[in-house]
Amino acid sequence: MSNPLVSICIPTYNRPGLLREAVESCLAQTFCDFEIVITDNSEHDDSERWIRQLSDPRIRYHKNERNIGGEANCAKALSLAQGQFIKLLMDDDLMKPQFLALTVAALKDHPTAGVAMAPMDLIDAQGHRITPRFYVFRTMDYRYRYQVGDGLIDRKTLLHDFLTRDYPCCVPSGLLCRKEFFDRFGGIDPAADFAQDLDLCMRAALHYDFYYIDQVLSSWRYFPANHTATLHRVGFPLRVFYYITRKILSDPETKRIFAGENWQRLEKDSYFFCTCRTLLNIHAAVLQRSPGLFAATLALIWREDPYRVNLVRLPLFVLREIWSSLLPVKLPPPRAGSC
């Protein structure tokens, strides 16, 4: 294809069955002006044989000579993209048929928006809808339900939420981005480790508004063997959260966005949000009965968070989270995406 409007980038590794489902969800889109760029780290040829059989000119398949690692494989897919818009789809996730039609229209209609985002439902390895329980108390019905109703979210609001409250979005399978962001401000930061998608979203919020569509447009696959589930069990490299936060706070654009605001309070609340993320590993330490992981997590907080008062705030945060999980606010569900 020449000059497709959208590039769907799918990095993959040794999952031909799940890759097939992901590609089929692309080919089922109601919007057709796209290419599919697949970069493959697999040792076997199963995925390649199936893709060659499709003979679809919209698919550009690249088999790496060796396993170059997940981050480099993802970066390679992005570097090969030709479209004006980038859709990064993980090889185990799925798009609903209207994903591209609605997100492309949103970015076309709102020139200040660099990212279109929408909530995701959760599915298991077999593709069945699930509502797993996280952190003992919280049931997750949808991933990244930001608000009730569609709307343009200004970058100051987004960045404040990313830094201090919650992640408005993160998993790339639920997003459509302008390619110009990657061209102007760079691609994947290897130092961001497992949170490279979070780093990309926060950097995008420095320069663009986001458009939120309150409709389930993709599915995030969650099962015991996937990377996120594994990290929940064994622990996260939590220093990454502090690294990304420091990087964003030190960016001159952040200072311009929050000019006139109480900077020290923003900084303190930003570090506190990182410290709240350490509860992921405290929870993992309890599950594993690992005093070592527990002690290492506390040491990390002491080393990385310069505001000691945040340690005092942490138990209050835990109580508030338990309370809100036991008595959640009832919101109308997002619009359902067609299967």
Residues 142 and 242 in one domain: no
Phi-psi region of 3 (alpha: psi -120 to 50; beta: other; left: phi over 0): left
The pLDDT of residue 1: 59
Here the CATH number for the domain that contains residue 55 is 3.90.550.10
Pairing of strands 175-178, 85-88: antiparallel
Mean pLDDT computed over 290-305: 95
The two structure tokens encoding residue 262: 């109480």
State yes or no: pLDDT of 325 exceeds 80. no
The pLDDT of residue 126: 93
| Domain closes at, from 171, 189, 224 | 224
Residues 160 and 295 in one domain: no
Q: How far apart are CA 41 and CA 70, in angstroms?
A: 8
Residues 46 and 99 in one domain: yes
Residue 48 in any domain: the answer is yes
The two structure tokens encoding residue 161: 């939420």
Q: How far apart are CA 88 and CA 110, in angstroms?
A: 20
Q: pLDDT tens for residues 33-76?
A: 999 999 999 988 899 999 989 889 999 999 999 999 988 999 99
Residue 333 in any domain: the answer is no
- More confident: 216 or 324: 216
* Cβ within 8 Å of residue 206, ≥6 positions away: 155, 159, 185, 248, 251, 253, 254, 257
Residues 160 and 289 in one domain: no
Q: Which domain holds residue 250?
A: 231-326
Mean pLDDT computed over 70-90: 94
Residue 46 in any domain: the answer is yes
Mean pLDDT computed over 167-180: 95
Residue 37 in any domain: the answer is yes
The pLDDT of residue 321: 82
Residues 60 and 17 in one domain: yes
Residues 87 and 112 in one domain: yes
List, as one string, the DSSP characters of 169-227.
---GGGEEEEHHHHHHH-S--GGGGGGHHHHHHHHHHTT-EEEE--B--EEEE--TTSH
Q: How many domains does the chain have?
A: 2
| Domain closes at, from 175, 197, 224 | 224
Average pLDDT, the chain: 93
The pLDDT of residue 117: 98
- pTM of the predicted model as reported, rounded to 2 decimal places: 0.94
* Cβ within 8 Å of residue 288, ≥6 positions away: 233, 234
Residues 94 and 50 in one domain: yes
State yes or no: pLDDT of 112 exceeds 80. yes
Residues 164 and 218 in one domain: yes
Q: How far apart are CA 2 and CA 328, in angstroms?
A: 49
Instruction: Report whether 39 contacts 68 (CB < 8 A).
Output: no
Q: pLDDT tens for residues 246-277?
A: 999 999 999 999 999 999 999 999 999 999 99
| Domain closes at, from 160, 190, 224 | 224
Residues 215 and 262 in one domain: no
